[in-house]
């Protein structure tokens, strides 16, 4: 702790939690106010100490760092709040972008506000807003979702629930999941323009934009791209919005209608309620539901069809073993 900070604590100064926006690629985007917040802080909380250490080294700043990723922040929040109430200055920085946006910093903000501690925000770069503007897709209204679910069926279900939002849809995505997410987007929004924005503010910044199915094929031809990505889906057309609103007003839940897992549970429940025995036919239906809910990819290790066969057969065997473990017999 510096001499000035020690004097401030002795004088009973108010502590403050500074949520500091950091660069998403280009270090030149760090604001002077953000740099000063780091200099004034008694301690700096961050997702990854290695990432934040590089930023501080660029600024010529040396401060104690406390790792506060999603695995530990809830446990460490009470101690940090106590330090705020004792008059310390704490800066919180994400690995990149604005804290609390798809980021564990929200936990600390909630804890600080609940305790009556002062919280301030130092605005900085945001990948989702940067991508939205860069994409050229209309941005009068938009909805930021963050990351889509991992399973294909859950992704499709979630996208259908977002379909009636009258604005652009924004998603964060990692390189190894981008193709799978675009497959779901092309399935739900085949007529919409989609932009894939990557390496934002960096040397190799790139925007790929096309109708969803075409963009998916372009991505497959390119192979796996590097860098964190933001996917921007164009708003629905007037015709699409009218159709979606008509469906919603009729009481039909488009999202639930495409959930094979829910359909399977319903089918099994109806059969058992009617006295149908647990059978190999039920195991086959379970395996078929798994087949409809996954989307394996080709790789040098194994072809897509082989991966699908293994997954379906494994699901069937797992169902049979589960029945046996429960004391049943097939």
Residues 121 and 132 in one domain: no
Interhelix angle 49-59/32-40, nearest 10 degrees: 110
Q: d(Cα 196, Cα 207) in Å, to the nearest integer? A: 6
Query: Does residue 222 sit within a domain?
Result: yes
Q: Say if residues 216 and 252 touch (Cβ distance below 8 Å).
A: no
pLDDT at residue 199, rounded to an integer: 96
Residues 270 and 180 in one domain: no
What residue has token string 């399935």?
187
Q: Which of 85, 105, 125 is the last residue of a domain?
A: 125
How much is the pTM?
A: 0.71
Query: Does residue 188 sit within a domain?
Result: yes
Average pLDDT, the chain: 84
Provide the residue range defining the domain that includes 66: 3-125
| Tokens encoding 9 | 């604590």
- CATH number of the domain within which 157 lies: 3.30.950.10
CB atoms within 10 A of CB 38: 21
pLDDT at residue 149, rounded to an integer: 95
Q: d(Cα 69, Cα 67) in Å, to the nearest integer? A: 6
Our count of domains for the chain comes to 3
In whole angstroms, what separates CA 327 from the centre of its chain? 41
Burial status of residue 319 (CB atoms within 10 A of its CB: 0-12, 13-18, 19 or more)? buried
Residues 223 and 273 in one domain: no
Helix (H) or strand (E) run with residue 290 in it: helix 280-293
pLDDT grade for 178, boundaries at 50, 70 and 90: very high
Residue 122 has pLDDT above 90, yes or no: yes
Dump pLDDT digits (tens) for 33-87: 999 999 999 999 999 999 999 999 999 999 999 999 999 999 999 999 999 999 9
Residues 67 and 109 in one domain: yes
Q: Which tops the pLDDT comparison, 258 or 229?
A: 229
| Tokens encoding 152 | 């294909």
Nearest to 126 by CA among 110, 109, 146: 146
pLDDT at residue 261, rounded to an integer: 46
Residues 114 and 134 in one domain: no
pLDDT-wise least confident of 168-172, 214-218, 311-315: 311-315
Q: d(Cα 173, Cα 55) in Å, to the nearest integer? A: 23
pLDDT grade for 202, boundaries at 50, 70 and 90: very high
pLDDT at residue 212, rounded to an integer: 95
Q: Which of 98, 125, 152 is the last residue of a domain?
A: 125
Provide DSSP, 160-171: HHHTT-SSEEEE
Half-sphere exposure of 102 (CA within 13 A, CB side): 16
pLDDT at residue 313, rounded to an integer: 73
Residue 221 has pLDDT above 90, yes or no: yes
Angle formed at CA 146 by CA 145 and CA 148, multiple of 5 degrees = 85
Residues 132 and 118 in one domain: no
Q: Which of 185, 217, 250 is the last residue of a domain?
A: 250
Sheet with 65-67, edge to edge strand ranges:
65-67, 43-46, 89-93, 16-20, 118-122
Query: Does residue 229 sit within a domain?
Result: yes
What residue has token string 């679910």?
149
Residue 91 has pLDDT above 50, yes or no: yes
- CATH number of the domain within which 88 lies: 3.40.1010.10
Query: Does residue 142 sit within a domain?
Result: yes
Residues 181 and 239 in one domain: yes
Residues 228 and 267 in one domain: no
Q: Which tops the pLDDT comparison, 195 or 243?
A: 195
Residues 13 and 73 in one domain: yes
Q: d(Cα 308, Cα 11) in Å, to the nearest integer? A: 67
Mean pLDDT to the nearest integer, 159-170: 94
Query: Does residue 114 sit within a domain?
Result: yes
pLDDT grade for 323, boundaries at 50, 70 and 90: low
Mean pLDDT to the nearest integer, 81-105: 94
Residues 121 and 164 in one domain: no
Q: d(Cα 282, Cα 296) in Å, to the nearest integer? A: 23
Helix (H) or strand (E) run with residue 233 in it: strand 229-233
Dump pLDDT digits (tens) for 257-316: 434 444 445 555 555 555 556 666 666 766 676 666 566 555 544 556 666 676 667 667
Query: Does residue 309 sit within a domain?
Result: yes
Residues 39 and 106 in one domain: yes
pLDDT at residue 286, rounded to an integer: 66
Rounded to the nearest 10°, the torsion over CA 77, 78, 84, 85 is: 160
297-302: Cβ within 8 A, 24+ apart: 297/179, 297/180
pLDDT grade for 223, boundaries at 50, 70 and 90: confident
pLDDT at residue 256, rounded to an integer: 46
Mean pLDDT is highest, among 30-44, 98-112, 252-266, 309-323, for 30-44
Dump pLDDT digits (tens) for 9-20: 444 578 999 999
pLDDT-wise least confident of 73-77, 316-320, 326-330: 326-330
Burial status of residue 194 (CB atoms within 10 A of its CB: 0-12, 13-18, 19 or more)? buried
Mean pLDDT to the nearest integer, 158-185: 94
Residues 236 and 298 in one domain: no
Query: Does residue 330 sit within a domain?
Result: no
Query: Does residue 38 sit within a domain?
Result: yes
Mean pLDDT to the nearest integer, 124-148: 95
């Amino acid at each position: 702790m510096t001499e000035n900070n020690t004097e401030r604590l002795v004088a009973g100064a108010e502590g403050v939690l500074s949520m500091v926006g950091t660069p998403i690629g280009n270090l030149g985007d760090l604001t002077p106010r953000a740099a000063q917040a780091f200099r004034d802080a008694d301690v700096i909380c961050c997702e990854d100490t290695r990432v934040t250490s590089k930023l501080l080294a660029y600024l010529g700043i040396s401060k104690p760092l406390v790792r506060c990723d999603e695995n530990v922040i809830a446990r460490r929040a009470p101690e940090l709040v106590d330090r705020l109430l004792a008059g310390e200055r704490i800066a919180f920085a994400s690995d990149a972008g604005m804290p609390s946006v798809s980021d564990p910093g929200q936990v600390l903000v909630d804890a600080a506000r609940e305790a009556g501690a002062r919280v301030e925000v130092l605005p900085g770069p945001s990948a989702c807003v940067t991508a939205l503007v860069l994409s050229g897709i209309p941005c009068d209204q938009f909805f930021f979702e963050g990351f889509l679910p991992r399973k294909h069926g859950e992704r499709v279900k979630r996208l259908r629930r977002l379909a009636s939002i009258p604005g652009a849809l924004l998603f964060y995505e990692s390189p190894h999941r981008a193709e799978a997410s675009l497959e779901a987007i092309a399935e739900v929004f085949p007529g919409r323009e989609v932009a894939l924005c990557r390496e934002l503010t960096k040397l190799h910044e790139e925007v790929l934009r096309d109708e969803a199915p075409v963009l998916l094929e372009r991505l497959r031809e390119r192979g796996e791209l590097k860098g964190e990505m933001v996917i921007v889906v164009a708003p629905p057309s007037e015709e699409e919005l009218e159709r979606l609103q008509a469906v919603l007003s009729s009481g039909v839940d488009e999202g639930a209608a495409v959930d094979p897992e829910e359909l399977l549970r319903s089918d099994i429940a109806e059969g058992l309620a009617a006295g149908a025995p647990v059978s190999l036919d039920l195991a086959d239906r379970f395996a078929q539901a798994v087949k409809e809910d996954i989307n394996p990819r080709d790789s040098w290790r194994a072809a897509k069809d082989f991966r699908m066969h293994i997954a379906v057969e494994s699901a069937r065997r797992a169902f049979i073993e589960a029945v046996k473990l429960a004391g049943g017999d097939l």
